[in-house]
Amino acid sequence: MKVYYSEDHRLHFPQAELSGGQFVTPYERPSRVEYVLQRLQERGMRDIQNPGPVDMAPIHAITAPDYLGFLETAWAEWKAAGMEGEIIAASVPVRRTQLARVPRNIDGKVGYYCLAQETAITGGTWRAALSSAASAQAAFSHVAGGARSAFALCRPPGHHATADMYGGYCFLNNAAMVAQMFRDRGAARVAVLDIDFHHGNGTQDIFFERGDVFFASLHGAPEDAFPYFLGYADETGHGAGDGANANYPMLPGTGYDLWSQALDSAIARIKAWGAEALVVSLGVDAFKDDPISFFKLDSPDFIDAGRRIGRMGLPTVFCMEGGYAIEAVGINTVNVLEGFEDC
């Protein structure tokens, strides 16, 4: 399987994340990529390439122009306002707040576009996010050219980013962008399967009222897990998208027996729906030792999950999402890919 990634991911490395009431080194850090690359090499998956220049058109297709403008200029505005540290939202819209007006002050503007305050913006975030999107675009082009699959080692990840908000370490929604690219290339129906522990709230938000992209997510119950406010089983789509959204929230302590049943159900729904192409939001934070998750999957389980996905027989692009047990992230990620290739 061909792999795409960019060294520009290193440009995004916030020095702090607010977690448990204190500032810690972010769980989403550059070393995650190093462990995945190392494991790919160990397992003989050495067809690893840098992507070409990013194409902004597919990004614009699923992202609000004002939000893109914010991401591009936020750091310069922040510094021009005399701010010394990294960009962290301090004031955010809350329930019963008028949401229609973007503040002029950069501090307020940051809060307007932010959905989770653990995610900081640095001077290199915009370039890193574009390089992540470029990796996803290159993986798509490889599959659209006739390959069975490709893996975009995206960093920063993307599935929490909506059309106009960032958070959960995500700025641009790579999986949603690739799904749109499949549609634009002629696929009548496309599915996004999100196996990250955390609900893909951004992807759901982008496609919730559309009937051409089916979204299925396996994740921690929103009563107990980030991002908290979306991901309930009764969220099935709206309008043209009614029936094209399937959530599988699961409780703390969920093991592979229950999780794999949810995966099989999601796969059956995708097949019955008639998907012609598949995008997998490949998070491996359902792992038993992940520091910010509560499922109990073991490393061999990811091989079996990959096999089940592979048996769907669809052209597939994998986009890297979460996984924060750093020393196991490479093993678990490559296990999914190898399981897929076994089919």
Q: Is residue 97 over pLDDT 90?
A: no
User: What pLDDT score was predicted for residue 311?
Assistant: 98
pTM: 0.98
Give the mean pLDDT of 135-154. Answer: 98
For the residues 154-170, what does the mean pLDDT come to?
98
In 3-state terms, what secondary structure has residue 292?
Answer: coil
Inter-residue contact 216 to 243 (CB < 8 Å): no
Cβ(174)–Cβ(262) below 8 Å: no
Instruction: Convert the pLDDT of each residue in 239-259 to its tens digit.
Output: 999 999 999 999 999 999 999
So what's the pLDDT on residue 58? Answer: 98
Cα 179-180-182 angle, rounded to 5 deg: 65
- What pLDDT band is residue 176 in, cutting at 50, 70 and 90? very high
**Residues contacting residue 279 through CB under 8 Å, at least 6 positions apart:** 175, 178, 179, 182, 190, 191, 192, 193, 316, 317, 319
Each residue's pLDDT tens digit, 41-52: 999 999 999 999
| Cβ neighbours of residue 188 closer than 8 Å, sequence gap 6 or more | 212, 274, 276
160 among known catalytic residues: yes
Write out the two tokens for 281. Answer: 């939001």
Annotated catalytic residue, options 159, 160, 198, 219: 160
98 has a pLDDT exceeding 80 = no
Domains and CATH numbers, the chain: 2-55+124-341 (3.40.800.20)
On whether the CB atoms of residues 320 and 157 are closer than 8 A, the answer is yes
Residue 96 pLDDT: 82
Share of the chain above pLDDT 70, in %: 100
